Amino acid sequence: MIRVSQIKISIDDPIEKVKELLLKQLKLKESDLLEYRIYKQSIDARRRGKLDFVYTVDIAVKDEAKILAKKLPNVSITPDIEYKYPEMGTEVMKHRPVVVGFGPAGMFSALILAEMGYCPIVLERGGAVEDRVRSITEFWSEGKLDPNSNVQFGEGGAGTFSDGKLTTRVKDLRGRKVLEALVEAGAPEDILYMAHPHVGTDLLRNIVKNIREKIISLGGEVRFNTQATGFIIEEGQMTGVKIKGGEIIETEHVIVAIGHSARDTFYELYESGVHFTAKPFAVGVRVEHPQSLIDVAQYKEFAGHEKLGAAEYRLTHTASNGRGVYTFCMCPGGLVVPSSSEKGRLVTNGMSEHARDQDNANSALLVQVFPEDFGSDHPLAGVEFQRRLEEKAFGLGGSNYTAPAQLVGDFLKGQASKKLGSVTPSYALGVKLTNLRRLLPDYITDAMADGLQAFDRKLKGFAMDDAVMTGVESRSSSPVRMDRDSETLQSLTVKGLYPSGEGAGFAGGIVSAGIDGIKCAEAMIKQFQKMS
C-alpha cells in the first residue's frame, strides 16, 4: 500500500472530505482507488480561529508504481507493521514457564507465550477483575483496604483503573501488536489511529477479562489470589516459585512482571540474590481544574464542539533548583482516586471512563527525585522514601484515607487552605484541607511552585487560585530497576528470571509495559523450545 500524510480537513468538514483530497493530491480517478484506511488522526489547533484534523492514510491503487514514480511530497510506501512471531530456539524446556503478575507486561508476555504454544502459568496476587471491582468499590466507599486487591493489584494491573491511556514514546512495532490485541478483545478500533488513544477504565475491565480468556483457551493457566512468596534459585538458576500456602511450582523460566507497587516481592527477590539498582523517579500531587477551563485553553473558540472530546495537556519545566517538573497521566473529565496498597499509607492516582465526561480534569504534578534524595544507598531505598511520604500523607489526612489537599492559590502563598473554592475535589473518600508544604520536602514544593507558574504561562488558568492539589502521588514509576542482560533479558545474577515491565524499571505505561512483556516472551522463545 501507499502512505499519504498531511491530509488536512476543517473541523466542520465531513470525513468523506479525506477521500476527495486524496484523489486530488494524487491526481487519481475514483475508479483507480481500490481501498483507503486511516492510519493516524491528530488535531492541529495552533492557529486562532482555525482547527484542523490531520490524517495519515494508507491506500491501495491499481497502479502503485505509477503513483510512486511521481515522487510527490508526503507520499511513500506503507511500511510493514505486521507483528512477526519469533523463531523457536533449540534448548528444551523441562517445565512450563511461569509469569508472575498480570498487569500489561505479564498479560502480553503470557499472551505471546500462549499464542506460540508454551502454555504459561500466570500467578496474580490480586483478584479477577470482577472481584477486584467489588473490593475497590468497598475501599472507595467505606475506607476498607484490601492489601491484595486494590488499584495497584489484580487483573490488568494499575492500568485497569486509570484513563487507559495508550500513548507511548517507545518506537517499537510491538506496540501495534498491543493495540491490535486490545481491539480484538473489545477496545474501540479508533485506538489504532488516534494520535492520543485511550480506552477508559469502564471498557478496560472487560477487555482484560477477554485477553485472560484467550490465554486460557490457548492452553495457559491464570491463577488469581495467588501470591509468589519465594523464588527458588540453585547455583544462580531459577528452579521454582513458592506460592502463598506452601505450594512450589517447578520451573526454570520465570517472567517477573509485578508492577511498581509489589514492594514485598521486591524485597523477596532482592534477598534471593536478584540484582537491583535504585533509579530516579518523581513524586508530587494530583491537581484538578474544571475540564471546561482546559477545553478553552486548548481549543479556544472550538471548545465544546461535538467532534472534540475533553482536551488534554502535557507540560514540562525545569525549575530554578534544577529539578524537572512535569504533568503525568493526565485524565480529562476524570477522577482522582484512592490508590493505596498498604495499610496506613495513602496514595492518589487518576482515572477516566471512556466518555471522559466528569466535571474536572486532573493530572499528576510531579518533581524529579534521585537516589541521593532517598537517605540511603540501599538499592531499595526509593521504596522506603515512598513509604515515608505515604505515611505522612495518611496522617495529614486524618489517618482514615481522607486525603490532604490545598488550593493552588494558597500553596503559592505558602498558607494552609481553609475552604474550597469553585473546584470540588473528586477524591472519593474526601479531602482534608491543609498546607501541603508539610507533606513534601522543600526541594519538591519549591520546584512545584515554580512549575505551576511556568505552566500557567503555557496553559492559561493552570495556576488558578481555586484549583485543588491532592496528595500524595508517589507511584508514578518504579523506584528500582532489576538489572538484566541486554541480549537474553535475563537477570544479571539469576538465569531463567526475566525482569519485565514497569516494576522492573523498563516501562512507563500500558503500551510500553506490554511491549516489554512481549520482548521478554520473545527472548525466552528464541532460546527454548516449548514442551512436547
Q: Which amino acid is at 220?
A: G
Q: In whole angstroms, what separates CA 521 from the centre of its chain?
A: 20
The domains of the chain are located at: 2-77, 91-277+482-529, 280-473
| Average pLDDT over every residue of 54-62 | 94
282-301 b/e (C-beta count within 10 Å ≥ 16 → b): bbbbbbbbbbbbbbbbbbee
* Cα–Cα separations (whole angstroms), residue 45 to 38, 42, 204, 290, 471: 20, 10, 29, 20, 33
The pLDDT of residue 168 is 79
Q: What is the pLDDT of residues 466-480, one digit of tens each?
A: 999 999 999 999 999
> What integer is the mean pLDDT of 408-431?
98
Tell me the longest C-alpha to C-alpha distance in the chain. Answer: 72
Q: Which CATH class is domain 2-77?
A: alpha beta
pLDDT of 195 reads: 87
CA distance linking residue 12 with residue 480, whole number of Å: 49
Task: Please say if the pLDDT value at position 371 is more than 80.
Answer: yes
pLDDT classification of 446: cutoffs 50, 70, 90: very high
Dihedrals φ, ψ of 362, to 5°? Answer: -140, 155
pTM attached to this predicted model: 0.95
What integer is the mean pLDDT of 3-20?
A: 94
* Position 148 pLDDT exceeds 80: yes
Residue 251 cell numbers, joined: 520451573
* 12-36 pLDDT, tens digit each: 999 999 999 999 999 899 999 999 9
Question: How many CB atoms are located within 10 Å of the residue 166 CB?
Answer: 22
In this predicted structure, the answer to whether residue 410 has a pLDDT above a threshold of 80 is yes
The residue-averaged pLDDT of 283-311 equals 95
Across the chain, mean pLDDT equals 96
Intra-chain end-to-end CA distance of the chain, in Å: 40
CB 76 within 8 A of CB 3: yes
Percent of the chain whose pLDDT exceeds 90: 92
Q: Cis bond leading into 472, ω under 30°?
A: yes
pLDDT digits (tens, 9 = 90+) for 105-120: 999 999 999 999 999 9
Give me the CATH topology for the region 91-277+482-529: FAD/NAD(P)-binding domain (3.50.50)
> Are 203 and 193 contacting, i.e. CB atoms less than 8 angstroms apart?
no
Average pLDDT over residues 381-393: 98
The pLDDT assigned to 204 comes to: 94
Residue pointed to by grid coordinates 486460557? 216
| pLDDT recorded at residue 310 | 96
Rounded to whole angstroms, the Cα distance separating 122 from 254 reads: 10
d(CA 9, CA 63): 26
Q: What pLDDT, on a 0 to 100 scale, did the predictor assign at position 475?
A: 96
pLDDT in tens, 325-352: 999 999 999 999 999 999 999 999 999 9
Determine the pLDDT at residue 47. 84
Q: What is the pLDDT at residue 154?
A: 96
pLDDT at 532 over 80: no
pLDDT band at 283 (very low <50, low <70, confident <90, very high): very high
Residue 167 has a pLDDT of 82
Question: If you write DSSP's letter for every residue of 133-202 in order, what string do you get?
Answer: HHHHHHHHHH----TTSSSSSSTT-GGGGS--B-------THHHHHHHHHHHTT--GGGGTBSS-B--HH
List Cβ<8 Å contacts ≥24 apart for 431-434: 431/397, 431/402, 431/403, 431/404, 431/405, 431/468, 431/470, 432/396, 432/397, 432/398, 432/402, 432/403, 432/404, 432/405, 433/405, 433/406, 433/407, 434/396, 434/404, 434/405, 434/406
Residues 223-241, mean pLDDT to the nearest whole number: 97
Pairing of strands 335-338, 403-407: unpaired
Element of type H or E holding 347: none
At 531, the pLDDT band (50, 70, 90 cuts) reads confident
Would the pLDDT of 372 be above 90?
A: yes
* 46 — pLDDT class (breaks 50, 70, 90): confident
Q: How many CB atoms lie within 10 A of CB 47?
A: 9
pLDDT of 170: 76
What's residue 48's pLDDT? 84
Burial status of residue 391 (CB atoms within 10 A of its CB: 0-12, 13-18, 19 or more): middle
Position 411 scores a pLDDT of 98
Query: What does the pLDDT average to over 154-166?
Result: 91
